[in-house]
A and B are shown apart, each in its own frame.
Chain A
Amino acid sequence: MSGEVAVLGAGMHPWGKWGRSFVQYGTAAARAALADAGLDWRQVQSVVGANTVRCGYPGYVAGATFAQALGWQGARVSSVYAACASGAQAINTARSQILAGMADVVLVVGADSAPKGFFAPAGGDRPDDPDWLRFRVLGATNPAYFALYARRRIALYGESAEDFALVKVKNAAAGALNPNARYREAVSAEDVAASAVVADPLRLLDICATSDGAAALVLSSMDFARRHGAGRPVRIRAVSTVSPTYPRAVLDLPDIATDSAAAVDPLPQSFRASIARAAYEEAGVGPEDLSLAEVYDLSTALELEWYEDIGLCGAGEGAKLVREGATALGGRIPVNVSGGLASFGEAVPAQAIAQVCELTWQLRGAAGARQVPRARTGITANQGLFGHGSAVVAVR
């Protein structure tokens, strides 16, 4: 184990479609996290921003943008981008600085202001950009890829659209209890079945929306946490930021084809499974130790795939877990008790940070009506396109 860092504060700006600048959301989340930590902004020695590519230049230098908005006070700034995994990379950058002794207190912020509808590639005529090409040549949106995985699960494992809908019903029920969630109403299986097909077999309510929102964390060294009087803080014990291993045998966004395994056999374990495994190895825990998990439910079917990838069950057994209620609040291993992307919608750079905010509140026993009893260990998992893995293990 390379060492732990303390989570002194967690904060969010509620998710929604507010139509304001991402800087406003991020600053509000940062102030909430600082207040939660009981720290003055001027005590922060480093700011790490998770970038957004949808909000112009300030979004590419998010660390500096938030530092300026909070009031320049000379802190070190850095800005990271790893698509959906940006937030975890920001946490990892902060952790590295703390463990290297470069800073005692680091603020991590991610925020986005998202357009309505499908995410689109960056503008211009760029035929050497795989993200541009998949839209130009195929019209392959993000939900198209989610749907390919979902159809594959139906064919391989006999899962059904009704199984996928159970994930939405579960996550909507949890999200209804979360004041930061965008969607806070119960959803029935009938509601899912009555929503429009977007990419067969997935319907609108199987697919996460795109949202505005922000999340922030104040991280510190364990020494600082003690000096600050934080008796038993939540600790981040592992951050996995692994990349794939050649050849990647599973088609992934934004690619038009997989790698070829003609010359080299793929590893038996998928890239997604390797993300969690690296986090477990670093933390010295396993899936059997988990109290809860937050996974990236870009679609309902993808949540089932994560159950397998983080080791909650074997391949093809994901639907069984959700049918049994094992992953619901009150179940054996609750997943996405925050409500998940199903209830939040995706605010890309904030999302992996929001996952850790939820672990923090759960591990503190401060999650209110959605509290998992006696939560001690949690994992987050997500994946950013272009080969970014992310998983965080937190304990208390």
Chain B
Amino acid sequence: MTRTPVVAGWFTDDTDDGDGVDFRLLGTRCAACASVFFPREDSFCRNPACGGGELVEVPLSKRGPVWSYTDGRYRPPAPYVSDPDAEWEPYTLVAVELEAERMVVLGQAVPGVRVTDLAVGMEVEVVPGVLNENAETVWTTWHWRPVGAPS
């Protein structure tokens, strides 16, 4: 099986070659005005006051406080991938404030984290995760995990 990011270029390689993984979301930063974009913007700076600079890849902050959270008690429609024959397992969504970038980024929580485990303001960190897999491919993604929670 190959490990393939669900979207290319949104986060760093998640394979551990022995010295630990510094897993990060990847955005871009405008070299002219320092605006940061996630999902990455590679074509143009969207700051209306900026003449436009080179967009350079930049890792985003690893941690931040929870802005808000919810869960999905019902199966979402495609293109979300789930086994229609399996019982639906709710997943948790977390919106996280990245303080250096001054932005909020959404993601799923690591499996097993429920809304009752979360609170607005709680510190979470980004970790590599698996979105879904089939016979050939493991589709990788990012997850948010409460800081200090067991991995």
Contacts and interface: CB of A to CB of B under 8 A. Distances in A.
A73 interface: no
A43 interface: no
B39 A257 contact: yes
A151 B71 CA distance: 11
A231 interface: no
Contacts of B69: 148, 151
Given A118-B76, A152-B67, A140 B100 contact: no
Interface in B48-104: 48-50, 67-74, 76-82, 91, 93, 95, 100-104
A137 B68 contact: no
A199 B101 CA distance: 28
B35 A139 contact: no
How many chain B residues sit at the interface, stated as a range, is 35 or more
Contacts of A135: 76-80
A151 B141 CA distance: 25
A127 interface: yes
A151 B68 contact: yes
A121 to B, nearest CB: 7
Given A118-B77, A127-B7, A262-B102, A137 B141 contact: yes
Contacts of B147: none
Contacts of B115: 200
A144 B70 contact: yes
Given A260-B36, A262-B35, A147 B70 contact: yes
A246 interface: yes
Contact of A259 (B34, B46, B71): B46
A200 B114 CA distance: 10
Contacts of A256: 38-39, 105-106
A148 B72 CA distance: 11
Interface of A: 117-118, 120-121, 125, 127, 130, 132-141, 144, 147-152, 155-156, 196-202, 246-247, 249, 251, 256-264
